[in-house]
Amino acid sequence: MEQPSFPVQLRQIRETELLIGIPSYNNARTVGHVVRAVMAGLAKYFPKARAVLINSDGGSTDGTQEEVRRVQIEDYKTILTSHPVHPIHKIVTPYHGIPGKGSAFRTIFEAAKSLEAKACVVLDSDLRSITPEWVELLLRPIYEEGFDYVAPLYARHKFDGTITNSIVYPLSRALYGKRVRQPIGGDFGFSGKLAEFYLTKEVWETDVARFGIDIWMTTLAIAEGYKVCQSYLGAKIHDAKDPGSDLGPMFTQVVSSVFSLMKEYEKVWRTVKTSESVPTYGFHYEVGLEPVLVHVERMIGNFRLGVKDLTEIWRRVLLPETLRWLESVGQLSDEAFSFPQDLWVRIVYDFAIAYDKGSVHRGHLLKSMIPLYLGRVASFVKENMDSSAVEVEKRIESLCNAFEEMKPYLLERWE
C-alpha cells in the first residue's frame, strides 16, 4: 500500500511530545537495531508519552527505508514489565536539498515544529552500541529538567575522534566557555523551541548541510544562551577511521563551520575569559573499545611534504617565527618527531584569523592545514602510545588549557 506523503502524515498525527529522528543513507544493516532500541527506550522510560519516530533518508537503495518500516517489537514482555500506553508512530520520508546530514536534520526540525514536539533526539543510523538507555539519557534532561540541548559523552578509543580532540573541542571551549566534551558527537537531544530556532537560519545550501551540522547545532545552542548539558552514553561503536586516511572533505567542512561561526559570534567569544563545566547525566562505567589503527609514519610523511610544498601559503598565514619553528619540526627524524602543543595552538588561531580575513582562498587554506593537523596527531599518538585513557584525557585537558591561556594572542591578532 502506498504511504501518504510527509505533510499528510504529520497532519494525521497533529502533535506529539517526543520526536526521534534517524537520518540515514544505505544503513539497512544497522538501522533495524537502532529502531528497536528506540522503541524499547520509549516504551520503558516514557510509556505514557506520545512519540513519533522519523527516518529522514537520503535516497537509500539497499532497503534501509523498508527495514525501518518493518521493524517492530512483537512482545514487549520479553524486555519490559509494562506496556507502552500509546503506539509509536513511524514516518519514513526522503529529505531534499544538498546531500548530507544537515539536510536530513532540517526535515527533522521541520517535523518537530509542525508537531509542536517538546523534546527531540537525533541518532545516527549506523550505531551498533545503542541501548534503550540512550533514549532516556538524551530526552529526559529536556523533557523533565528544562534543558534545551543535550550533547553526547562517549567512551572512545584514545586515538579515535582526533579532529574533536585536537581542534574542535579545545577551540570551542576556549571561544565560548563551555566544556562540552564531544560537540560533534552525532547523537543529540534538543527542545522543540531550539529546533524552531535552527530553522530560522539560512545555512541549508552551505557546507553545514554536509558535514558541519553537529558543531553548528552545538555552537548555536551555547552562543545563543540556551541551557546545555551532556549525557554519558558509554561506548559509541561505529566504523572508526584511521586519522591518517583520506579525511579531506570532513576535515575542511567541519573546520570551516567552526571558523565561519567565529565571525557570526565574535561579540560573544571576545568577552569569554574562562571555561566552565556543564551538567553531566548518566552513570560512568568502563567499556571495551574497538582499536583504531594509526599509521604514524604516513602522517609524518604527509607533514614533511607540506613543509616542502606549502610554505608559500603558510607564509601568508603564519608569523615568521612560527614558520621557522615549523620548519625545524619538519627536520626531526621519525624517532625524535614532536609537534609542541603551543605551536599547534598558535597555528590554529592563525588559520582562523586568515579564514576570517580571506587573505588566502578558503578552500586552499583549509586543505593546506591538513598536513599540519596530521603532524600534530602523529606527535600526539607517539606521546600516548603507552598511555591509559585517563592519562590521554589529561593531555587533552592540557591542550585545552593552552588554547584558553593563549586566547589573548587570538584577540590581539584578530584586530
- Residue-wise DSSP of 246-267: --HHHHHHHHHHHHHHHHHTHH
| Residue 52 pLDDT greater than 80, yes or no | yes
Cβ 46 vs Cβ 118: under 8 Å: no
Domain residues of the chain, as ranges?
A: 6-281, 296-407
| Residue 244 pLDDT greater than 60, yes or no | no
**Considering the chain, what is the average pLDDT of its residues?**
88
Q: Return the residue matching grid coordinates 624517532.
A: 335
Going by pLDDT thresholds of 50, 70 and 90, the confidence category of residue 5 is low
The pLDDT value given to residue 239? 54
Give mean pLDDT, residues 81-87: 51
Cβ 266 vs Cβ 356: under 8 Å: no
| Residue 357 pLDDT greater than 90, yes or no | yes
Cβ 215 vs Cβ 101: under 8 Å: no
Cβ contacts of residue 10 below 8 Å, gap of 6+?
91, 111, 114, 115
Q: Return the residue matching grid coordinates 544493516.
A: 29
Cell of 99: 546531500
Give mean pLDDT, residues 45-49: 92
Cell of 282: 548518566
Q: Tell me the CA distances in angstroms from 97 to 104, 209, 215, 254, 316, one per residue in order.
A: 9, 8, 20, 19, 36
C-alpha–C-alpha distance, residues 265 and 211, integer Å: 20
C-alpha–C-alpha distance, residues 277 and 369, integer Å: 30
Going by pLDDT thresholds of 50, 70 and 90, the confidence category of residue 284 is confident
For β-strands 119-122 and 188-191, DSSP reports them as: antiparallel
Cell of 221: 545552542
The pLDDT value given to residue 80? 47
Q: Which amino acid is at 232?
A: Y
The helix or strand, by DSSP H or E, that contains position 152, with its residue range, turns out to be strand 149-155
Q: Which amino acid is at 341?
A: Q
CATH topology assigned to domain 6-281 = Spore Coat Polysaccharide Biosynthesis Protein SpsA; Chain A (3.90.550)
C-alpha–C-alpha distance, residues 151 and 159, integer Å: 20
For β-strands 228-235 and 280-281, DSSP reports them as: parallel
For β-strands 89-94 and 51-57, DSSP reports them as: parallel
Task: Please state the length of the chain.
Answer: 415
Digit-coded pLDDT (tens) for 160-172: 788 999 999 999 9
| Residue 101 pLDDT greater than 70, yes or no | yes
C-alpha–C-alpha distance, residues 413 and 239, integer Å: 39
Cβ 146 vs Cβ 227: under 8 Å: yes
